[in-house]
């Protein structure tokens, strides 16, 4: 495929290694050909690198398979998923999941990206509901206090929440950005 067709989340094979395009930036210098800067995430070890290409260059796109998997449990630094059709179990190391691990709840169904029989990445639901287990205490009389505070969710994730969120509340979180959306219920 032409480098000009590469977009965010395109999967490329470069020097035999599978990458996900995290960012694709186009620049046009005053003279010469256009330059494309790609920020690439190695889908095997999670490392990030940058590459520069000139317009007209070609890159190899990889088409991967997807399948629905249900998150079962964590075992050490491995996360165990089950294929919803074949009931086969798949183990994914914590390093491959990165921050996505903070949004996994037992029983949650995700879309797993596979290269052959090897898991490469997962796609979470856009939102997830998680319980607040720790939260900073804020004073109602403080007038110069911040409008947000740090709370810890049941998965160990630290998130900025409005001051009215308390321990025991369930909140909705955007899994793409890791940000607070709304309080779901009040304890």
- Find, among 100, 86, 76, the residue nearest to 20 by Cα: 100
CA distances, 7 to each of 1, 11, 12, 146, 183 (Å): 11, 9, 11, 38, 34
CATH of the domain at 165: 2.40.50.140
Report the DSSP pairing between strands 48-54 and 60-61.
unpaired
Same domain, 69 and 106: yes
CATH of the domain at 55: 2.30.30.30
Give the number of domains in the chain: 3
CB neighbours of residue 103 within 10 Å: 24
Q: Which of 43, 61, 79 is the C-terminal boundary of a domain?
A: 61
Q: Which of 123, 141, 168 is the C-terminal boundary of a domain?
A: 123
Which residue's entry shows tokens 């856009």? 126
pLDDT by residue (tens digit) across 30-59?
A: 888 889 999 998 877 778 999 999 988 898
Same domain, 101 and 119: yes
What is the residue range of 38's domain?
3-61
- What is the reported pTM? 0.70
Same domain, 34 and 11: yes
Same domain, 132 and 178: yes
pLDDT by residue (tens digit) across 92-104?
A: 999 888 899 999 9
* Cα end-to-end distance, the chain, whole Å: 53
């Amino acid at each position: 495929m032409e480098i000009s067709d590469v977009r965010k989340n395109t999967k490329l094979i470069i020097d035999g290694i599978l990458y996900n395009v995290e960012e694709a930036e186009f620049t046009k210098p005053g003279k010469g050909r256009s330059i494309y800067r790609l920020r690439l995430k190695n889908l095997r070890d999670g490392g990030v690198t940058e590459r520069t290409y000139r317009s007209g260059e070609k890159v190899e796109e990889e088409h991967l398979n997807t399948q629905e998997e249900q998150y079962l449990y964590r075992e050490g630094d491995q996360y165990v998923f089950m294929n919803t059709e074949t009931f086969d179990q798949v183990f994914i190391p914590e390093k491959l999941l990165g921050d996505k691990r903070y949004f996994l709840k037992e029983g949650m169904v995700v879309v797993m990206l596979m290269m052959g029989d090897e898991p490469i990445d997962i796609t979470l639901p856009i939102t997830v509901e998680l319980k607040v287990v720790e939260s900073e205490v804020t004073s109602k009389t403080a007038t110069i206090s911040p409008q947000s505070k740090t709370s810890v969710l049941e998965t160990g994730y630290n998130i900025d929440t409005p001051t009215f969120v308390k321990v025991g509340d369930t909140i909705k979180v955007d899994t793409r950005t890791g940000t607070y959306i709304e309080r779901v219920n009040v304890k």
